[in-house]
Structure 1
Amino acid sequence: MSNESLARAYELTRTLVAALDAGDFAFAADLAEERSPLLMSLQRDQTDEDLATIREIMAMNASIVDRASAARDAVAATHTNARERVSAARQYLAAGQMR
């Protein structure tokens, strides 16, 4: 990977984190799609400076994964809560029909 590609991957990662902070998940997905081939093209031998940049990207990735997990858990909790309320409404209506 050239220094330009690594620098672009780093900037995309920073922008991806900012997009997640702003709640713009569609933009974040587009950034991740653009960034992926750059990360996949990493070569084995890197300079110390490049390795430091890669470590920063890895740290930001850990933050991204944590945020994605938290968002997934929040969506799952909201979904479960909605299902429980629908079930309660059905039971209420069924009890009303028994009269």
Structure 2
Amino acid sequence: MVPESLTQAFTLTQAIEAAATRSDWVKAAALVETRAPLLKSLQPPQPPEALDIIRAIQRIDSAVAIHAQAEKDAMAVRQSHAMQQIESVSLYQTTGML
């Protein structure tokens, strides 16, 4: 028998995955905080069905973490590009004042 807290945690995990797919990281983080006590409440041993759900949660969490890292990397590239543009504009303004 699968504990109700694990069923709820899996539902929240699916919601976290959906939020991450939309790049709604604020919502994803809030859902993670809501889910944490449910996962922490689980005690060993767990039946095989529960272990399957736990493994599914781990796979989803891993995919979300990879997606978050990719989003972070892309944001860092955009920030770097924006900083270069600011430097170029600043140089132009400085040169134009000579």
Cα distance in 1 between the residues matched to 2:21 and 2:76: 20
TM-score, length basis structure 1: 0.90
SS in 2 for 1:13: helix
Shift in Å, 1:41? 2.4
TM-score, length basis structure 2: 0.91
Shift in Å, 1:64? 0.8
Instruction: Give structure 1 stretches of 5+ with no counterpart.
Output: none
**What one-letter code is carried by the residue in structure 1 that aligns with 2:57?**
I
Identity across the alignment (%) = 35
SS in 2 for 1:46: coil
Shift in Å, 1:56? 0.3
Q: Does 1:76 align with 2:44?
A: no
Instruction: Give structure 2 stretches of 5+ with no counterpart.
Output: none
Shift in Å, 1:91? 0.8
Shift in Å, 1:96? 1.0
Q: Does 1:90 align with 2:90?
A: yes
Shift in Å, 1:31? 0.7
Q: Does 1:65 align with 2:65?
A: yes
Deviation track 1:12-49 (CA, whole Å, cap 9, x = no partner) reads: 00011011112322221211110112122232311111
Deviant stretches of 4+, over 4 Å: none
Aligned to 1:56: 56
Please, what is the CA RMSD of the aligned residues? Answer: 1.3
SS in 1 for 2:46: coil
Aligned residues: 97
**What one-letter code is carried by the residue in structure 1 that aligns with 2:30?**
D
**What one-letter code is carried by the residue in structure 2 that aligns with 1:88?**
S
